[in-house]
Amino acid sequence: MLAITDEPLDILAVRAAVLDKTCGGVALFEGIVRADDDGTRCVVALEYEAHHSMAIAEFERIARDVHVRFSGARIAMVHRIGRVRVGEPAVVVAVAAAHREQAFLGCRYAIDELKMHAQIWKKEHFSDGSADWRANDA
């Protein structure tokens, strides 16, 4: 399951997509919208936009990498687009592997790669009504 959706994310569905009888550990990461406060204003929501086909192609590249680098680990990764409110997940990554080391490393690798390379953008909406696009740190 590699997907971009404008629906709320279903964590159990992402998890279920990676489980099989060979798996001894599942590491799952959720990126959650945080009520970030810069002193004068507070984030109330994030709005995501994606170049759908390029982002999915990047997810597929990451999934292949995870499988090869982390002993056949299986990955599912879903990113939400549109408006996501504080406390809701914007992205869910699940990685299953025979042992926990590979599950943790694969999951961390995947979210790091997604944040650096997937063609997805984020606009911060603040409590004072202002809004601005915000890039990830390089």
Partner 1 sequence: MIHLAFFARIAEICGTSERTIALDPAANIAMVWDTLEQEFPALQAMRPSTRAAVNGSLVSFEHRLAADDEVAFLPPVGGG
Contacting residues toward partner 1, per CB under 8 A: 31, 48-51, 53-55, 57, 79, 90-91, 111, 114-123, 133-136, 138
DSSP codes joined into one string, the chain: -EEEESSPP-HHHHHHTT--TT-SEEEEEEEE----B-SS-BEEEEEEEE-HHHHHHHHHHHHHHHHHHTTT-EEEEEEE-EEEETTSEEEEEEEEESSHHHHHHHHHHHHHHHHHHS-EEEEEEETTS-EEE-PPP-
Binding partner of residue 5 among partner 1, a copy of itself, none, CB under 5 to 8 Å per kind? none
Binding partner of residue 17 among a copy of itself, partner 1, none, CB under 5 to 8 Å per kind? none
Pick 29 or 59: Cβ nearer a copy of itself? 29
Binding site for a copy of itself (CB under 8 A): 11-12, 15, 19, 21-36, 86-87, 89, 96, 98, 100, 103-104, 107-108, 111
Count Cβ atoms below 10 Å from residue 38 Cβ, excluding itself.
9
CB of 46 to a copy of itself, least distance (A): 11
CB of 110 to a copy of itself, least distance (A): 11
Pick 18 or 62: Cβ nearer partner 1? 62
Cα separation, 25 vs 56, in Å, equals: 25
Pick 2 or 86: Cβ nearer a copy of itself? 86
